[in-house]
C-alpha cells in the first residue's frame, strides 16, 4: 500500500494527540485531532455534546467526523477519540484502508496518567481506576480488531527522557513498514 491515512487509536491518556502531532511531523503529513474536528464541525464542546445529546448522540457525530476525515484526499495522521471503536460501523471503516495504530497500555498505567480534562466527561467525578478497567475490558478486543500496528507505550515512558518523541519515531518506522507491506500482516512492537 502507498501512503494513506494513519489513525491512532487507544484509550484516553495513551498520547494519541501528542504522539500523533510528532508522528505527523516525522511522516511529513498533516495532523488532525478528531476531538477538535468534532468541536469545530458542530460548534460545541464535547462536554456539552455529552450533556445535551448523551453519549449515543455524541457517538453519531463522532462517526460523521471520522467519515469526513477518512474521505479527505491528503494522507493525514488522525488522532481518534478513545471511544471511536465502540461503534461497529467505525470499526469497519477503520479496517478499510487506513493504517491503524493502537497505542496500548494497561488500565492501571493509564489511570495514573490520564487527566480529567473537559473533553473527557467519562472521567468526571469517577474513580479513574474503575473507569479504565471497565473501558479497557469493553474495548481492548476492538482496538486489537482494527489495529495494523500495536505499540506498547509503557516501556517508552519507563526508559527515555523524551517518551513521546521516541514513540513517534518508532511508530513512524512501523507505519512505513506496514504501508510497504500493504498493512496485511500486522506489526507489533
Ligand atoms: C472518549 C475519549 C475522548 C473524547 C470523549 C470520549 C472515550 O477523547 O472523544 O470524551 O470514550 O474514550 P481522548 O481519547 O482523545 O481523550
Distance 151 CA to ligand 1 centre (A): 19
User: Which cell is 7 given?
Assistant: 489513525
Atom of ligand 1 nearest to the CA of 12: 14
Ligand 1 in reach of 47 Cβ (< 6 A): no
Ligand 1 in reach of 81 Cβ (< 6 A): yes
- Which helix or strand (DSSP H or E) is residue 41 part of? helix 34-42
Looking at residue 187, what is its pLDDT? 57
Ligand 1 in reach of 12 Cβ (< 6 A): yes
Give the Cα separation of 76 and 181 in Å (integer). 19
Looking at residue 80, what is its pLDDT? 98
How confident is the model over 29-42, as pLDDT tens digits?
A: 999 999 999 999 99
Ligand 1 in reach of 82 Cβ (< 6 A): yes
Confidence class for position 189, pLDDT limits 50, 70, 90:
low
Distance 181 CA to ligand 1 centre (A): 30
How confident is the model over 99-152, as pLDDT tens digits?
A: 999 999 999 999 998 888 889 999 998 899 999 999 999 999 999 999 999 999
- Average of per-residue pLDDT across 64-75: 96
Confidence class for position 44, pLDDT limits 50, 70, 90:
very high
* pLDDT at residue 186 is higher than 70: no
Q: Atom 3, ligand 1: which residue's CA is nearest? A: 81
Atom of ligand 1 nearest to the CA of 16: 15
- Average of per-residue pLDDT across 166-181: 96
Cα Rg, the chain, nearest whole Å: 16
Torsion of CA 71, 179, 11, 91, to 10 degrees: 50
Give the Cα separation of 175 and 140 in Å (integer). 21
Ligand 1 in reach of 10 Cβ (< 6 A): no
Ligand 1 in reach of 119 Cβ (< 6 A): yes
In sequence order, what are the residues at sequence separation of 6 or more whose Cβ sits closer than 8 angstroms to the Cβ of residue 44?
Answer: 52
Ligand 1 in reach of 83 Cβ (< 6 A): yes
In sequence order, what are the residues at sequence separation of 6 or more whose Cβ sits closer than 8 angstroms to the Cβ of residue 51?
Answer: 121
- Give the chain's mean pLDDT: 94
How confident is the model over 155-168, as pLDDT tens digits?
A: 999 887 899 999 99
Pairing verdict, β 99-104 and 6-9: parallel
Atom of ligand 1 nearest to the CA of 62: 9
DSSP label at residue 119 = T
* pLDDT at residue 79 is higher than 90: yes
Distance 180 CA to ligand 1 centre (A): 30
Ligand 1 in reach of 122 Cβ (< 6 A): yes
Amino acid at each position: 500500500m502507498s501512503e494513506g491515512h494513519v489513525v491512532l487509536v487507544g484509550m484516553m491518556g495513551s498520547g494519541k494527540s501528542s504522539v500523533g502531532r510528532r508522528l505527523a511531523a516525522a511522516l511529513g503529513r498533516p495532523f488532525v485531532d478528531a476531538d477538535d474536528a468534532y468541536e469545530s464541525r458542530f460548534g460545541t464542546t464535547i462536554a456539552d455534546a455529552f450533556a445535551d445529546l448523551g453519549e449515543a448522540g455524541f457517538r453519531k457525530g463522532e462517526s460523521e467526523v471520522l467519515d469526513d476525515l477518512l474521505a479527505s484526499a491528503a494522507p493525514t495522521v488522525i488522532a481518534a477519540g478513545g471511544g471511536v471503536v465502540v461503534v461497529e460501523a467505525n470499526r469497519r471503516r477503520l479496517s478499510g484502508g487506513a493504517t491503524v495504530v493502537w497505542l496500548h497500555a494497561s488500565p492501571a498505567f493509564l489511570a495514573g496518567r490520564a487527566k480529567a480534562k473537559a473533553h473527557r466527561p467519562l472521567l468526571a467525578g469517577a474513580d479513574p481506576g474503575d473507569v479504565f478497567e471497565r473501558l479497557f475490558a469493553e474495548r481492548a478486543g476492538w482496538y486489537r480488531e482494527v489495529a495494523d500496528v500495536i505499540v506498547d507505550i509503557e516501556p517508552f515512558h519507563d526508559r527515555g527522557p523524551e517518551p513521546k518523541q521516541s514513540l513517534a519515531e518508532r511508530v513512524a518506522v512501523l507505519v512505513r513498514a506496514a504501508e510497504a507491506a500493504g498493512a496485511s500482516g500486522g506489526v507489533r512492537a
